[in-house]
Amino acid sequence: MYTKQFHADSIDWIPSGIDGVNYKILDGDPATMASVVVYKFEPGSVVPHHLHTQADEVAYVLDGEFIEGGVAYKAGSVFAAPAGTTHGPHETKTGATVLFVLSQQLDFIVQ
């Protein structure tokens, strides 16, 4: 049996600090700060080139159009970036929802 059951709609969106980008934490480990997070990118939003010094990141596009490094990707696209890997910009013209799995606490270093 699963130890947690809930619907993602029961969790409020949290502003990320970047215009048009909000997130909700679906699960996490307080000891390592590993987490599963859903990000909602509103049309026209842009996340600049950046890296994470501690967290390995895997991203899975749930819906919309996610533009990574100038190339548009649709639902089902997967991205992986080990800690220290510069990635982005993340953009969308139409909006996108993306699931991120983070191995440790997320820091955000703009490049």
The string of pLDDT tens digits covering residues 21-53 is 999 999 998 888 999 999 999 999 999 999 999
Tell if the pTM clears 0.75, that is, is over it.
Answer: yes
> Which phi and psi angles does 8 have, rounded to 5°?
-60, -25
The single-letter DSSP state of residue 87 is: B
Separation CA 26–CA 10 (nearest Å)? 10
Separation CA 52–CA 44 (nearest Å)? 23
Q: Measured in Å, how far apart are the chain's first and last C-alpha atoms?
A: 43
Cα four-point dihedral sign 110, 65, 95, 106:
negative
Classify domain 21-110 by CATH number: 2.60.120.10
Q: Per-domain residue ranges for the chain?
A: 21-110
Q: What is the mean pLDDT of the chain?
A: 94
pLDDT score, position 106: 85
What the block records as the tokens of 76 is: 């089902």
* Residue pair 104/35 in contact by the 8 Å Cβ criterion: no
